[in-house]
Amino acid sequence: MAPSVWLPLLVLGLPFVAFVLLAVVAPLRRVGPRAGLVSIGAIALAFGAAVTVWTEGFVSETTWAWIPADGGPIATVGLLVDPLSNAMLVLVTLVSLLVQIYSLAYLGDERPASLGRYYTYQSLFAFSMLGLVLAPGFLQMFVFWELVGLCSYLLIGYWYERPAAARAAVKAFWITKLGDVGFIIGIVLLWSATGTFEFTDLFEKAQEHALAIPGLPTIMFLIYLGAVGKSAQFPLHVWLPDAMEGPTPVSALIHAATMVTAGVFMVTRTEPLFALVPEVLTLIAWVGAFTALLAATMACVETDIKRVLAYSTISQLGYMMAAAGAGAAFAGFLHLLTHGLFKALLFLAAGAVIHAVGTNDIFRMGGLFRAMPQTGIVFVVGTLALAGVPPLAGFYSKEAVLGGVWEAHLTGPFLMLALTVLLTAFYMFRVVFIAFFGRAHAAADPHEAPWLMRGPLWVLAALTVLVGVRMALGGAEGHEETPAWLAPLSVGLALVGFALAWAMYQRRAIDPARIAAALAPIDYLARRRYGLDALYAGLYRGFILGFSRLVGWIDRYLVDGVLNVLTALTLRGGDALRRIQSGRAQDYVYGVAFGLLLLIVGAQLWR
Amino acid sequence: MTRQVLSLVPELSIITWSPFVGALLIMFTARHRPRAVRWIAAVTTGISAALSVWIYAAYDQDTAGFQFYEKVPLVPPLGISYELGADGISLLMVLLTSIIIVAGVFASWTVTVRSQEFYALLLALVTGVYGVFVSLDLFVLFLFYELAVLPMYLLIGIWGSTGEVRPRGIFAWAFRETGVGTKEYAAMKLTLYLLFGSAFILVGILSLYVNAGAASFSFLDFEATAFPRTLQRWVFFAFYVGFGILAGIWPLHTWSPDGHASAPTAVSMLHAGVLMKLGAYGVVRVGMGLLPEGAADLAWLVGTVACINIVYGALSSMAQTDLKYVIAYSSVSHMGIVMLGAATLTGAGLNGSVFQMFAHGVMTGLFFALVGLVYEKTHSREIGKMGGFGRTMPGIATAFTIGGLSSLGLPATAGFVAELLTFLGAWRSAHRWWLFPAVAGTFLTAVYVLRVAKQIFWGPPSSHFHDLQDARGPEWVALVVLVFVLVLFGMVPGLAIAPVDTATIPLLARIVSP
């Protein structure tokens, strides 16, 4: 086997082996930290292999039969190794590795058995995401897609005894599953029309214009629905903020490298197919841009530091999707990679803060920069990157996204995304000023996190800067095409956002309450998450549960009722007929005589 | 049809009769010796299980057709003979039966009341199940079928448990008079319902027998006969109703929730896990196999009812507050997938159907084993009272979650492959819209399964229960075996699909081009 096959296979296999080991060998799992080392060791090796695969620029495709059928297998499994998957492999293994190391300290107080469970899930999560990235066809992608969803469910519900965590985990599964309903129908339809799940076959057909099947827009739209659920696009984004009930490192993983990136990755991977359906692409762009803006407004009024970051993820996912919709999938993917770095950084830094102060509420923090300067610095680095300030990584990828959307003449989405740039800078610096500067709270005595947690933070911060500098020097592809006025505009917007946050929360020159009053309707709606959560809750309780109760009632009391009526009538009938057997000879003689009479009369009439 | 080669060793007979011998041994030698009873049961079913794994591996997929053939004339003047043989479909069903009964024997390890009678009946029943799956003579098949159904009455009536159903609605008076909810009611309902179905089957078999010249009851001879289309249509209908009752087709399914909920653990496992498959197997093997044109004409009915089953069963399951009823209704929903796959009359769909029989059998066996364990520890089936059991019984929680994931069709479990194939078949069938209720069913399944799992195992520990324990000793056997099979066949579906495919291709060829 060539190294371009077995090395990616090794990347995929190592976390799987770790998972099986931890899942099956209970004694190993129950000594928590040691289980962690097994998982970390596996992912570290996988990271090394992934870096090799990436730097060597391996390209290969291998498939094995999975579901046999007469005349060739219906479904295959395999590996599709190309620049796209290679870059993803590095990101996924890197973030997983750092998150797992970080968790060792962050979850150090957990019971050993729980910690073992945590690392079992982590290994499975890494394996699932890597399998998704390497998928050579829709079916394998769906298989790992669902496994990724499962791992999110398990990890969000890691503290399963907390009702909120249990609810959030189930909600995440249901909402993403709703999108997956579309995804699986789309795959089935596509298979029926083309007879294959394989990307390369489909792309070839797309190139030869042999994919002119009726209903292709519908099929691609259905497939896109899967990405709507996973990548938290409006209106299925509601699960992501609630997913904050999981441990913070899990949030970092879900938001940066796994789960939510799956949808964007899928759209990027199957870009040649989406390119055939411009109307769906336009829809994707509009939904993406709208999601970006909507989530940004919600982030502006949120007081929970993790939830702010969650909304910012939704918002940035909107950027990525908008880029894909504008036909600039590469720009979106670039943003996915850079965002993975600084979002992991922000979440892990937020975790360090939460670890230190014991609350998620930014208004109960304050002055943390003095108490935890290292965390403060890396958080600001992440914030600058997210706000799109050069020369950090986020700036260039965001430029590419905005440029792509502009080039595609999608003015509406462009304006929404531009406004979101301002809001992004605003809500991120709002957090920075409130939590890290401002007045310190006397009660809390925050301290810097242990080095196991600080290490990953510095690695991510360094990468955020380095990747940005590298892009500034090298000039990222897709960047050159953007119009010259774009960079000043976006930096200018970000500066306005920064200035606004500074004026409102640092200088306190502007009273936030007055701004809120001026924008009362938006403020009102954003605080209530635009009523979407309530809507889903209502649909769930009223429609699904209500309908199920109705059906349950009908089944028990009508369908089964008819049967019971028949039974009861039979019983009554038997009971009634039983009385004829009175045991008195006279009755029987009467009976015989009466019967005879009937027969004679009947015989006469019949004739 | 190639001549069948007689098997040198009667593997199928040994598999079939080994549990029966066990039942006799238990009744005559092991009276009042509970340990011996259990070991006899474990060993005799173990022999069957080992042999069924062996024949599964030894089956020659290139030759295909019925292998391990045995034939002994019983009543030559009437053409009745003891004729056994197994093809890819029967092999998988035999394997399923073996897995479930071995798990069931271990799951019943703690039965204390009259355990020798319990085990004897259980083993006799299993002989009936094996017999149906391997019989090639329809008369003998019918005998085995009855043998599989009748012990249920005693097993549920004596060892069952009673639930509570409040009489309500316009038919409340009938509920009061019939005693709905009691185990006696459930046992009687189940038996009568299934016997009602048997009547249809018997009429169907006899009509085929007479029409084919009244010379033989052999499946192979019937297969070689071309029956007139009108006859095919109504005989298929008779088989569909007769076997379909056992497969839980709507609206003739109501015996199953009551029966499964009242039955003791191993009986629920066997009944939902294997006996419902007898029904589906009957429809596929006897109905579609012998009456291809009838099947083609009535596929619309089978598939449409199956769609109702899927959605209706899932919604009903969601409405239940009794854990056993939840699982029982989920069977109604999942058997819909089985029937839908068959009704698509496509290769993918039919493979999916047979695979779902297997997947659902293992999955529901696991569920009932788990529910039995939970009941044994808590003495409650009320979901509303439970909560936070994950801390005290992590093993049970894990197994339940894996079963649930298979139930909602999560990849890497057997349920996914079965459902996927059925979906693929549905869209390629003559009735494309079947795909949508089928997929909707998987979403509804996700809703009720995770809801129940969350309620029972997650959240703060319930105050109603104290000193709960995880599974222990022999109880683990059932869980580990079933979870292993579920994941193994989910990851390597070829294990099952390859042999099944050899049987479904000729079956379909007859239907599509009669």
Ranking A37-46, A392-401, B349-358 by mean pLDDT, the lowest is A392-401
pLDDT classification of B514: cutoffs 50, 70, 90: very low
**In this predicted structure, what is the pLDDT of residue A222?**
93
Picking from A70, A188, A563, the nearest residue to B435 by CB comes out as A188
Compare all CA atoms of chain B with the CA of A572 and give the residue at the minimum distance: B177
Over residues A501-524, the pLDDT tens digits come to 888 887 777 777 777 777 878 878
Is the pLDDT at B315 greater than 50? The verdict is: yes
Is the pLDDT at A57 greater than 60? The verdict is: yes
For chain B, what is the total number of helices (H) and then of strands (E)? 23, 2
**In this predicted structure, what is the pLDDT of residue A184?**
92
Chain B residues with beta carbon closer than 8 angstroms to that of A143: 411-412, 416
Compare all CA atoms of chain A with the CA of B408 and give the residue at the minimum distance: A177
Ranking A135-139, A376-380, A593-597, B33-37 by mean pLDDT, the lowest is B33-37
**Cβ distance of B319 and A161 shorter than 8 Å:** no
Chain B residues with beta carbon closer than 8 angstroms to that of A153: 450
Q: What is the mean pLDDT of chain A?
A: 87
Chain A residues with beta carbon closer than 8 angstroms to that of B251: 559
**Cβ distance of A68 and B497 shorter than 8 Å:** yes
**Cβ distance of A568 and B497 shorter than 8 Å:** no
**In this predicted structure, what is the pLDDT of residue B239?**
93
- Give the integer Cα–Cα distance in Å for A540 and A536: 6
Picking from B178, B394, B497, the nearest residue to A564 by CB comes out as B178
Is the pLDDT at B333 greater than 50? The verdict is: yes
Is the pLDDT at A582 greater than 90? The verdict is: no
Ranking A194-203, A353-362, B422-431 by mean pLDDT, the lowest is A353-362
- Give the integer Cα–Cα distance in Å for B81 and B491: 41
Instruction: Return the residue in A117, A125, A153, A184 with the most chain B beta carbons within 10 A, the one to mutate for interface testing.
Output: A184
**In this predicted structure, what is the pLDDT of residue A478?**
46
**Cβ distance of B450 and A170 shorter than 8 Å:** yes
Picking from B175, B426, B448, the nearest residue to A564 by CB comes out as B175
pLDDT classification of A443: cutoffs 50, 70, 90: low
**Cβ distance of B417 and A67 shorter than 8 Å:** yes
Contact A352, A429 (CB under 8 A): no
Is the pLDDT at A479 greater than 60? The verdict is: no
User: pLDDT higher for A239 or A481?
Assistant: A239
Residue B83: beta bridge partners?
B71
How far A256 CA sits from the closest chain B CA (Å)?
24
**Cβ distance of A161 and B388 shorter than 8 Å:** yes
Compare all CA atoms of chain B with the CA of A564 and give the residue at the minimum distance: B174
Instruction: Return the residue in A160, A547, A562 with the most chain B beta carbons within 10 A, the one to mutate for interface testing.
Output: A160
Is the pLDDT at B127 greater than 90? The verdict is: yes
Q: Which residue has the tokens 């006696």?
A: B184
Instruction: Return the residue in A139, A188, A222, A225 with the most chain B beta carbons within 10 A, the one to mutate for interface testing.
Output: A188
- Give the integer Cα–Cα distance in Å for A343 and B128: 62
**Cβ distance of A564 and B174 shorter than 8 Å:** yes
Contact A291, A234 (CB under 8 A): yes
Containing structural domain, residue B49: 4-512
The Cα angle at residue B150 between residues B146 and B153, in degrees rounded to 5: 160
Instruction: Return the residue in B250, B420, B451 with the most chain A beta carbons within 10 A, the one to mutate for interface testing.
Output: B420
Ranking A52-56, A458-462, B378-382 by mean pLDDT, the lowest is B378-382
**In this predicted structure, what is the pLDDT of residue A480?**
53
- Give the integer Cα–Cα distance in Å for A191 and A286: 28
Is the pLDDT at A182 greater than 60? The verdict is: yes
Picking from B165, B427, B442, the nearest residue to A192 by CB comes out as B427
Compare all CA atoms of chain B with the CA of A74 and give the residue at the minimum distance: B348
Task: Give me the number of domains chain B comprises.
Answer: 1
**In this predicted structure, what is the pLDDT of residue A136?**
92
**Cβ distance of A166 and B444 shorter than 8 Å:** no
Give the gyration radius of chain B's Cα atoms: 22
Compare all CA atoms of chain B with the CA of A555 and give the residue at the minimum distance: B316
**Cβ distance of B416 and A146 shorter than 8 Å:** yes
Instruction: Return the residue in B458, B492, B501 with the most chain A beta carbons within 10 A, the one to mutate for interface testing.
Output: B458
Residue B84: beta bridge partners?
B70, B135
- Give the integer Cα–Cα distance in Å for B21 and B30: 13
**Cβ distance of B446 and A549 shorter than 8 Å:** no
Name the residue type at position B146.
E
Instruction: Return the residue in B351, B417, B447 with the most chain A beta carbons within 10 A, the one to mutate for interface testing.
Output: B447
Helix (H) / strand (E) containing B86: strand B80-86
Chain B residues with beta carbon closer than 8 angstroms to that of A553: 169, 319
**Cβ distance of B165 and A181 shorter than 8 Å:** no
Picking from B174, B446, B498, the nearest residue to A174 by CB comes out as B446
Picking from A68, A75, A561, the nearest residue to B501 by CB comes out as A68
Chain B residues with beta carbon closer than 8 angstroms to that of A555: 254, 312, 316
How far A359 CA sits from the closest chain B CA (Å)?
21
The Cα angle at residue B125 between residues A560 and B191, in degrees rounded to 5: 25
**Cβ distance of A557 and B318 shorter than 8 Å:** no
Is the pLDDT at A192 greater than 50? The verdict is: yes
**In this predicted structure, what is the pLDDT of residue A185?**
93
- Give the integer Cα–Cα distance in Å for A435 and A172: 29
**In this predicted structure, what is the pLDDT of residue A481?**
62
Share of chain A above pLDDT 90, in %: 27
Interface size between A and B, measured as CB pairs under 8 A: 160
Q: Which residue has the tokens 């809120």?
A: A516
What letter would DSSP give residue A361?
B
**Cβ distance of B254 and A177 shorter than 8 Å:** no
Residue B285 tokens read as 């093997």
**In this predicted structure, what is the pLDDT of residue A2?**
83
Ranking A436-440, A539-543, B230-234 by mean pLDDT, the lowest is A436-440
- Give the integer Cα–Cα distance in Å for A201 and B496: 27
Bridge-based pairing state of the strands A75-81 and A60-67: antiparallel
Is the pLDDT at B131 greater than 80? The verdict is: yes
User: pLDDT higher for A129 or B33?
Assistant: A129
**Cβ distance of B171 and A69 shorter than 8 Å:** no
pLDDT classification of A444: cutoffs 50, 70, 90: low
Picking from B171, B312, B427, the nearest residue to A557 by CB comes out as B171
Measured in degrees and rounded to the nearest 5, phi and psi for residue B166 equal: -80, 130
Give the gyration radius of chain A's Cα atoms: 31
How far B115 CA sits from the closest chain A CA (Å)?
32
Q: Which residue in A128, A92, A117 sits closest to A39, CA to CA?
A: A117
Q: What is the mean pLDDT of chain B?
A: 88
Over residues A240-251, the pLDDT tens digits come to 888 888 898 998
Chain A residues with beta carbon closer than 8 angstroms to that of B448: 548
Bond before B251 cis per omega within 30 degrees: yes
**Cβ distance of B493 and A67 shorter than 8 Å:** yes
Instruction: Return the residue in A67, A167, A218, A547 with the most chain B beta carbons within 10 A, the one to mutate for interface testing.
Output: A67
Chain B residues with beta carbon closer than 8 angstroms to that of A545: 318
How far A552 CA sits from the closest chain B CA (Å)?
4
Residue A81: beta bridge partners?
A60
**Cβ distance of B427 and A189 shorter than 8 Å:** yes
**In this predicted structure, what is the pLDDT of residue A183?**
93
3-state DSSP assignment of residue A388: coil
Residue by residue, what is the 3-state secondary structure of B128-147? Answer: HHHHHHHECEHHHHHHHHHH
Instruction: State the average pLDDT over residues A223-232.
Output: 91
- Complex ipTM: 0.90
Picking from A74, A545, A553, the nearest residue to B318 by CB comes out as A545
Compare all CA atoms of chain B with the CA of A193 and give the residue at the minimum distance: B428
**Cβ distance of A150 and B405 shorter than 8 Å:** yes
**Cβ distance of A178 and B180 shorter than 8 Å:** no
